[in-house]
Amino acid sequence: MRRITAWLLILIVALAMAFPGYAAPKATTLTFWTFQELHKGFWDDAVATWNKAHPAQPIALKTEVYNYDEMHNKLLVALQSGVGAPDLADIEISKFANYLKGKTPQLVSLNSIVKPVLSKCIKARFDNYAKNGQYYGVDYHVGATVMYYNKEYLDKAGVDANKILTWDDYVAAGKKVVAATGKPMTTVEVTEQWTFYPLLSQYGSDIFAKNGKVILDSPANVKVLTFLKDMIYKDKIAIPAPGGYHHSEEYWAFMNKGGAASLMMPMWYMGRFVQYMPDLKGKMIIRPLPAWKKGGNRSAGMGGTGTVITAQSKNKALALKLMAAAKLSKEGAIKTWTLLGFDPIRWDVWSDPAMKADNQYTNYFGKDIFNMLTDIKDEIGPTVITEKYPLAIDLIKKNVSFKALKEQSATPEQVLKEVADELRK
């Protein structure tokens, strides 16, 4: 009896070894580094979706969330030393140029998955992460800069947001709002770049020209910075942002109490409203930016985070497939809105019914967000990014706005020239 049982066992084991396909396939582990807890949720969802669709090729994603600086430093050191880098990583736009420096790219070209869908996407968002015709990163959002108006204040001052078409209209409206409510029309960042930079881009100017030449001190940029200074000190409709920038805790507290009547920030700032300024729910409306001239651009693409695949990955082909499914597919693009509240890089989903479904963002700001976005889709200019971009952003943060708008220790012209000269060295 025992012998028969033993033979049976041997037979079963032999059969199992002869047909390994019947055993469940083992999941491939991919590692992912990010500095944004929200992104982890997005990728976990993407992997769950992938595993449902590809049961024969399951993936286990090991995500590590670090703080912003720590993650970028760790990744830089790992790529520099040739060991320890993850398969996938998020790199914030102002740091991205550092990872494209040098002769031997440490990131994998994504052309094979980007090119097929590029015509349905906002191309400028891919150019930010490109070098020598190769795309190295896929963004989460367009980062369209918009104006968030506090409708209560505008109504009090008898101002219609839809009639504010140019910056001149905006200043005139601002004066009415200040007179009627005693609140400033807006706040201006003095220690970060989110006020000065979108206005440059909207004006059709930039920090660098297409050929990489520094044009930060161009007359157009002087005009933009002077305009901001005038809004604060001449027209008296703006104040320097409390805390210095729109991401300081002080600022959120100030704004939550209805500190200012409007705010210019990219679409991704919606999440900050929902999270940190709950008292403004139902009071804020989103509109395109006023144009510099009638018919001019009414937005600018700002900020961003490119997800990359590192050259050290041992599963590049699988990582590419996952990246395509998670971020470049229609479903993935819709998820960037439903899960993250971002404006998807694929414009062909903006009119999708899924984008109209209720979520925390439509509850806060109303439903017509994407109609407005579709309206300004072709009014988002590209931004030129060179190897000196991280330094340029640093100097704009530290010196440009601060010296010209807060300290007033230098005129807009002087400070722009000073920083441009440093970038030219």
Partner 1 sequence: MKKSLWRSLLNSPKAVPYFFVAPFVLSFLLFYLYPFIATIQMSFQRIAGFGDVTFIGWSNYGRLLNEHFFNALRTTSQYTFWTILVLVPLPILLAVLVNHKRVRFTGFFKSALFIPALTSVIVAGIFFRYSFGEQATTLANAVTGLFGMKPITWLQIKGPAMFALVLLCTWRWLGVNMVYFLSGLQGISQELYEAAEIDGAGAWDRFRCITLPGLKPVIIYVITISVYGGFSMFAESYAFWKTATPGDIGMTIVSYIYQMGFNNFDMGFASAIGITLVILVMLVNLIQLTCFGFFKKDSD
100 binds partner 1, rule: CB under 8 A = yes
137 binds partner 1, rule: CB under 8 A = no
- Piece of 47-55, 143-151, 293-301, 404-412 that binds partner 1 (CB under 8 A): 404-412
Q: With residue 231 as reference, give the H or E element that holds it.
A: helix 219-233
Instruction: Report, in Å, the least distance between residue 15 CB and partner 1.
Output: 51
Residues contacting 199, CB < 8 A, separation 6+ = 224, 227, 228, 264, 300
Count of C-beta atoms within a 10 Å radius of residue 116? 11
Count of C-beta atoms within a 10 Å radius of residue 76? 16
Select from 120, 356, 406, 417 the one that contacts partner 1 (CB under 8 A): 406
CA 357/CA 286 separation, integer angstroms: 18
197 binds partner 1, rule: CB under 8 A = no
Q: With residue 147 as reference, give the H or E element that holds it.
A: strand 145-150
Q: With residue 98 as reference, give the H or E element that holds it.
A: helix 93-99
- Piece of 179-187, 190-198, 208-216, 354-362 that binds partner 1 (CB under 8 A): 190-198
132 binds partner 1, rule: CB under 8 A = no
Contact 110, 310 (CB under 8 A): no
Angle between helix 219-233 and 412-424 (nearest 10): 140
Site string for partner 1, 146-185 (x = CB under 8 A): ----------------------------------------
103 binds partner 1, rule: CB under 8 A = yes
Site for partner 1 (CB under 8 A): how many residues?
38
CA 41/CA 400 separation, integer angstroms: 36
User: If you ran DSSP here, which 8-state letter would residue 165 be given?
Assistant: -
Q: With residue 266 as reference, give the H or E element that holds it.
A: strand 262-266
Return the number of the residue (291 or 385) whose C-beta is nearest partner 1: 385
Return the number of the residue (250 or 331) whose C-beta is nearest partner 1: 250
84 binds partner 1, rule: CB under 8 A = no
106 binds partner 1, rule: CB under 8 A = yes
- Piece of 23-31, 50-58, 97-105, 205-213 that binds partner 1 (CB under 8 A): 97-105
User: If you ran DSSP here, which 8-state letter would residue 24 be given?
Assistant: P
Binding site for partner 1 (CB under 8 A): 69, 72-73, 76, 79-80, 95, 98, 100-106, 190-192, 242-244, 249-250, 253-254, 387, 390-391, 394, 397-399, 402-403, 406-407, 409, 422
